[in-house]
Amino acid sequence: MSDILILSRRDLQAVMRFADYVEAVDQAFRLHAEGRSASPPPLHIQAEDGGFHAKAAGLTLGRPYVAVKVNANFPGNRRRFGLPTIQGAVLLLDGANGTPLALLDSIEITIQRTGAATAIAARHLARPDSATATVCGCGAQGRIQLKALHHSLGLRRAFAWDVDGDAAAGYGREMSSELGIKVVAVTDHRPATRQSDVIATCTTASEPFLGIDDVRPGTFIAAIGADNPDKREIAPALMAQATVVADMLAQCVAMGDLHHALAAGAMREGDVHGELADLVGGRRPGRTRGDEITIFDSTGTGIQDVAAAARAYELALEAGRGTRCRLA
């Protein structure tokens, strides 16, 4: 067995730009649209104070790759232990012969590939003249979501809201400096979302906080937080009124905000406009009207993980990054 390449978060940050993640994830959805992906359902294991999920997928990206990601999600970690909410690893394998190729930090992969999907969705579902954003949830994912929206739309200002006011204030200062736009922390999300062209929800909420009265016509919403069946951010009535696009329909039916809209009887599965792959592959249109409310239900997919991990592995080999380890 050949050596496996260990890629730390620092290694990934050294070799991968955000644009690399966007290109990799876009290619993954294009291949999925063509029926050239393998993506089994995710596995969820509940724990007392959090949970674990495993996602796997296979893609041929010049050569066949398979990746399996195991993530732990423990919302109380930072407060109780000083640890990240999400921790885990991605195992990348050769899809032709099964050889383990790399073990990658999953924090960076997960954050960046999730933002990349939002950047792609925004191209298809946001109004091209969108200038103002609100981000609900000012953690690591909130940071990449604003960066993703700015990457695709060239925002001019943003609002930041979090149940932790200090977190929102710090976010506002940091993101204003990083992006060169005005990012204002707010204590009530509703006046901010009513002024916004785009909204990203990336919280750990278990009850919906964004409803019809919080959103104006023409808004694009990236619904990020509901990545397990117990989390929800978007009111079912708002889901029913919007054009909903799923990252992967079967997953969103099982664990996204769509899951809760279906359970409430506000929508049927057939009401969903399509998957992101349908838009990327040209099978379905994106936004068709200026006053249309559009929602991207993002639960995070294995095809994003394998595409990002494979791109990082190839760039790391070129750059000579990472640590080699022999497993057997």
- Of 247, 312, 282, 293, nearest to 42 (Cα)? 247
- The encoded tokens of residue 234 equal 């978007």
Q: Has residue 322 got a pLDDT over 80?
A: yes
Residues of the chain with CATH 3.40.50.720: 114-301
Residues of the chain with CATH 3.30.1780.10: 4-110+303-321
Place of tokens 């919080």: 214
Q: Has residue 75 got a pLDDT over 90?
A: no
Alpha carbon distance 100, 59 (integer Å): 15
pLDDT at residue 4, rounded to an integer: 97
Q: Residues 137, 201: contact at Cβ < 8 Å? A: yes
Active site residues: 69
The number of beta carbons lying within 10 Å of the beta carbon of residue 198 is: 30
pLDDT at residue 251, rounded to an integer: 95
Please tell me whether residue 144 adopts helix, strand or coil conformation: helix
pTM: 0.96
pLDDT range class, residue 1, cuts 50, 70, 90: low
Instruction: Over range 67-90, report the average pLDDT.
Output: 92
Place of tokens 């400096």: 177
pLDDT digits (tens, 9 = 90+) for 177-208: 999 999 999 999 999 999 999 999 999 899 99
Q: Residues 121, 296: contact at Cβ < 8 Å? A: yes
Q: Has residue 88 got a pLDDT over 90?
A: yes
> Which top CATH class is 114-301?
alpha beta
pLDDT digits (tens, 9 = 90+) for 129-151: 999 999 999 999 999 999 999 99
Q: Has residue 17 got a pLDDT over 90?
A: yes
Instruction: Over range 295-316, report the average pLDDT.
Output: 98
pLDDT digits (tens, 9 = 90+) for 212-266: 999 999 999 999 999 888 899 999 999 999 999 999 999 999 999 999 999 999 9
pLDDT at residue 212, rounded to an integer: 97
Distances, alpha carbon 121 to alpha carbons 61, 245, 294, in Å: 22, 9, 10
pLDDT at residue 85, rounded to an integer: 85
> Which top CATH class is 4-110+303-321?
alpha beta
pLDDT at residue 2, rounded to an integer: 79
Q: Has residue 300 got a pLDDT over 70?
A: yes
